Chains A and B, each alone.
Chain A
């Protein structure tokens, strides 16, 4: 192209014009692109889809509402309306005259009102000048005389009077008209009320209709005015978000996409529209955690302010889900957000941050199990963990172990506990990823031998047990199944991961013949406290013969395969090496060698045993002489759930860099992060292998991930009310003594139920225990249990509660359900008539067919019920009434019938209309009164 640069120009202007045209088009294009990029967001698609679902739902609801309208009612009203309208039409002339009158009067009244206000304006002003003139004598530019003011005042009052009179007449006329039309108006109202649901649905349907106004308000650039597609957010001021330098209010926009979260209608809708699975506890306005106060990320974590699927840090539940998400949403790990959302199955971890001080959180079913698992696995033995500081040692004291079992057993056991008892919580320390037997068998055996030597060297307590009296094994087996051992122990280990966690509190009762001294076992089942004063194992009040039978039975179980395992023995060279290793930590090599040469074999074993126990932290779970003040060896877990991922050593293990993945890997193979590393024995990872089942591992992951650093303002944290604090103290005892091994408390527990097929043989549900029993009776029962249900074989154990503990339990149960310790109604003197009515009712309802005092042949246990003889001192009057009113509500699954049921309209019905005028409340009260006086 020839250059056409004109004189005085640096460029060819027509070419510049072309460049300008092109770049203008490009600028326009990129501007449009910018607007579109800003407008097209994934959450808007969700809202559009939800509106479509809402339309369907509302249309359906409208249809249902239409069908709900009773045609008969509608017809009746329509007919009456027609009649009423006909009446009105007959009076048409009178009504028309009335209307004409009202209209004329209204016109007149309007004029009168205007006139009054005109005069009043002048009057108010003149009043001011008149007051000024009279009081100050110095007219403010205008003097008003008394005469002039009086005249004005008179005319103002006249005008007002005219208006008031008209108002009065008008009101009377209007009432007259209303009365003439009253029937029609009323019937119209009735008809409207009948179809109210339909009208509401119609109105809603109109507001979300697919029409021009609704499209127009959501158009790009126009959608700032009044869009219907918009971000929904809640601002949570109490449960703050910790941004390290500042705690800021949480802003959760989750409901922008999770639109059906609080609407039960969407329970089966696909995500993100699904209803929250537990609206009774969360989200809804009536629940304990309304979304407006708690938001979503307070519990679930994640980035509440974000609006994109990936940005809010959703965490996939499984690898399959992850693949699915990657495909659908381009999901990826967001390593810029320190607290990604919990997996759905781990969500209860989020409870801990506010409920940390509670030993048991009634509604958090998974979490209670998780925290118990964490405790049973003894995690806090090595890892200091806030909230677990005052827990007793997890394992038994070893100060008298020599009198309980033998050295060979202990050596084999320490070497590989799971070989003896797969369900044991005792972990394995040797033959793992970083000390495999293939390389280090001699060293491993030597370490075990040294530790056993040390432990037995410090076993100074104990005594020589005489041989137990002879017992009958088969009687013992029956007893173990009946008296309640199985509330805390498993008898059969297979499938232990399925068993109730409460039954895994104590060791499984297997292989004891290979383990225990018979004399010890006999003494132990009779009186566990004699050997270890901190044990939670109670006395079941066994007779000597029963104890001998149980001992005989338990010793029948042996572990021959385990006994065939070689006993780990010290290797001289390895022992020297280990001893030297510890000596060298404080001494130069020359001196260490000299010291080693001076030591006997025994010295070396004891010396390295002590060093190894300190290294492996055995004292975290067991009381061992010489380690009374030893510090826990593990990392503090109190805030592990907030630990920076960058602070975790993933070593050469190729897993996602997340807290959860690291923790799961650590629990599956605790030494794996040493793989490929050069480490001296003292530097190696020490956490032992627990061989957790999948569900136990999940429980521990849930517990640990919940231990976060977050601190909230006082308003955000759960603070226990006075009653809750009292209940909490009782729950601590309930937890420690494993009451849930046998009883349901707060609806959870009842471990022993799985061994008792007959529901009637199961220890009772302790729901409403506080209001059920009298404080006095419960106190004495706890201290020294007495028989309540004569047919039951399981015994309430004697826990040797101190008076303080028994009181704590009694007041705690009372606090749990707001009961009163004393029962005024029960104390009252009843008239003979009252009691006779109660007695009649009892007879007619045949209560005493089940509530009997002793065995009655053919009755099944589940049909038996406690005798009324106990009621006077045991039960409370109010509770009996509550129980009669709705037994299933108090004890789900009970055989007790509900004699006074409630019909669909919510009215309580009486089975015996002839008594007490059929008043159900009076009847129930009469029954309760009679039962409370059964013995008198």
Chain B
């Protein structure tokens, strides 16, 4: 029974399943908002906590979770889940009140309190309590020092600090210059740009979900799935040789996974046409990659324009592609920037699924100039 359960969890933790399940689950939770209730939260947290603690009896699970380095990730799991639930719960509660014609929660509270004692006192209490946590933590867990660094013996797996593991996970799917330079820059730029793109004043000073559905869904998808989930799985599930291991599996260094990734150009020229890749010179390289270049070009430059068309221009089954109402509301500049950033964000899951489904390595590959997408 326990073995069956462990096999199930190991299976679910595989990258494909885990990513799909969490994405679908999150989207369903936004559709059926009644799941953000107190009852579900208490049950959910209790079950998760009990499973988490019970799993400590599994030596492989314990080995990874109890590493002093990995303790923060346990904190991340529970804190992120809790605050996500809290914000959603408050927002949905306010939406319900508003629908029922009641005052929202924030209006009921006086918006003015004393600096002393209310603010300063609580801040000091937070300081004292955090000091206690840090002291006890530092006494109980020694600094996780390892052997002197050795250039001839890199640790396996070699892992970035936990907060960078999301980026490191992207390296599995993208060329280093994209995953290591372009995407991190875009994440920062995109986060800075949010207030300039999203000028919807609703939700200022109070929780709400209904009034900001699209914004919340997009942000939480990016933050929870594309960042936190990658950090967590990078810490707990990526083992030696960056292979995936379920939480109850032993990290065997000798495990070998087949690596048979191919580029789109190989699909087109070799598999479809049955001929060698064009070679020799710039033109041949462009010819070789024409399909990939076309796909990337279409995705990044055609799609934003197409989505700005009114619904009537699309055949019926593609009507959902039209984002005309946003275009009207935001104006062309904000719309195109916003859609471009969104598309770039979505390129990560798209590439991940392409990899899993087709062993796709690169859409565009110019190894001659170290430029791969």
A-to-B contact residues, CB < 8 Å: 7-11, 13, 16, 19-20, 23-24, 26-27, 30-31, 33-34, 37, 243-245, 335-338, 644, 646-647
Contact = CB atoms under 8 A, between A and B. Distances in A.
Given A243-B148, A644-B152, A11 B122 contact: yes
Given A8-B113, A33-B135, A20 B150 contact: no
Contacts of A26: 128, 132
A8 B135 CA distance: 35
Contact of B139 (A13, A34, A646): A34
Contacts of A13: 117-118, 121
A16 B135 CA distance: 22
A337 B147 contact: yes
Interface of B: 109-110, 112-114, 117-118, 121-122, 124-125, 128-129, 131-132, 135-136, 138-139, 145-153, 156
A336 B145 contact: yes
B113 A9 contact: yes
B125 A23 contact: yes
A16 B122 contact: yes
A26 B150 CA distance: 42
A333 to B, nearest CB: 13
Contact of A30 (B113, B132, B152): B132
Nearest to B126: A23
Contacts of A646: 153, 156
A26 B135 CA distance: 11
A538 to B, nearest CB: 47
Contacts of B145: 336
The 6 closest A-B pairs by CB, nearest first: A243-B148, A10-B113, A336-B147, A30-B135, A244-B150, A23-B128
A78 B156 CA distance: 80
B284 to A, nearest CB: 32
A10 B118 contact: yes
B118 A9 contact: yes
A244 B122 contact: no
A9 B128 contact: no
A604 to B, nearest CB: 37
Nearest to B145: A336
A338 B132 contact: no
Given A8-B114, A244-B148, A644-B152, A27 B122 contact: no
Contacts of A9: 113-114, 117-118
Nearest to B109: A10
Contact of A11 (B110, B118, B146): B118
Given A13-B117, A243-B149, 10 more contacts: A8-B113, A9-B114, A11-B121, A26-B132, A27-B132, A34-B139, A335-B147, A336-B146, A644-B150, A644-B153
13 contacts: A8-B113, A9-B113, A9-B114, A9-B117, A10-B109, A11-B122, A13-B117, A20-B125, A27-B135, A30-B139, A33-B136, A37-B139, A245-B148
A335 B145 CA distance: 12
A19 B125 contact: yes
Contact of A27 (B112, B128, B150, B153): B128
Given A16-B125, A336-B145, A336-B147, A30 B136 contact: yes
Contacts of A37: 139
Contacts of B117: 9, 13, 16
A666 to B, nearest CB: 18
Contacts of B125: 16, 19-20, 23
Nearest to A644: B153
Contacts of A336: 145-147
Contacts of B150: 244, 338, 644
Contacts of B146: 336
A37 B131 CA distance: 16
A595 to B, nearest CB: 33
B135 A31 contact: yes
Contact of B135 (A34, A245, A644): A34
A244 B121 contact: no
A23 B110 CA distance: 28
Contacts of B153: 644, 646-647
Nearest to A335: B147
Contacts of B118: 9-11, 13
Contact of A23 (B132, B135, B138, B149): B132
Most chain B C-beta atoms within 10 Å of own C-beta, residue among A30, A31, A34, A243:
A30
A251 to B, nearest CB: 14
A245 B148 CA distance: 9
Given A16-B121, A34-B139, A24 B156 contact: no
Contacts of B110: 7-8
A335 B253 CA distance: 16
A309 to B, nearest CB: 15
Contacts of A335: 147
Given A10-B118, A20-B121, A27-B131, A33 B139 contact: yes
B136 to A, nearest CB: 6
A338 B138 CA distance: 26
A9 B132 CA distance: 27
Nearest to B253: A646
A11 B125 CA distance: 13
Contacts of A245: 148-149, 151
Contact of B128 (A7, A24, A244, A647): A24
Contacts of A27: 128, 131-132, 135
A244 B150 CA distance: 5
A101 to B, nearest CB: 73
A297 B113 CA distance: 65
B132 A244 contact: no
A24 B152 CA distance: 50
A384 B186 CA distance: 54
A127 B114 CA distance: 79
Contacts of A7: 110
A23 B146 CA distance: 35
B24 to A, nearest CB: 40
A312 to B, nearest CB: 14
A31 B121 CA distance: 21
A203 to B, nearest CB: 41
A11 B122 CA distance: 9
A194 to B, nearest CB: 56
A27 B109 CA distance: 33
Nearest to B114: A8
A646 B155 CA distance: 9
B149 A244 contact: yes
A23 B151 CA distance: 47
Given A8-B113, A16-B117, A30-B135, A338 B148 contact: yes
Contacts of A8: 110, 112-114
B114 A244 contact: no
Nearest to A649: B254
A28 to B, nearest CB: 10
A244 B124 CA distance: 46
A644 B149 CA distance: 12
A336 B155 CA distance: 11
A851 B109 CA distance: 120
A9 B110 CA distance: 9
B198 to A, nearest CB: 30
A31 B298 CA distance: 62
Contacts of A244: 148-152
Contacts of B138: 34
Most chain B C-beta atoms within 10 Å of own C-beta, residue among A7, A10, A31:
A10
Nearest to A31: B135
Contacts of B156: 646
Contacts of A16: 117, 121-122, 125
Nearest to B151: A244
A885 B125 CA distance: 87
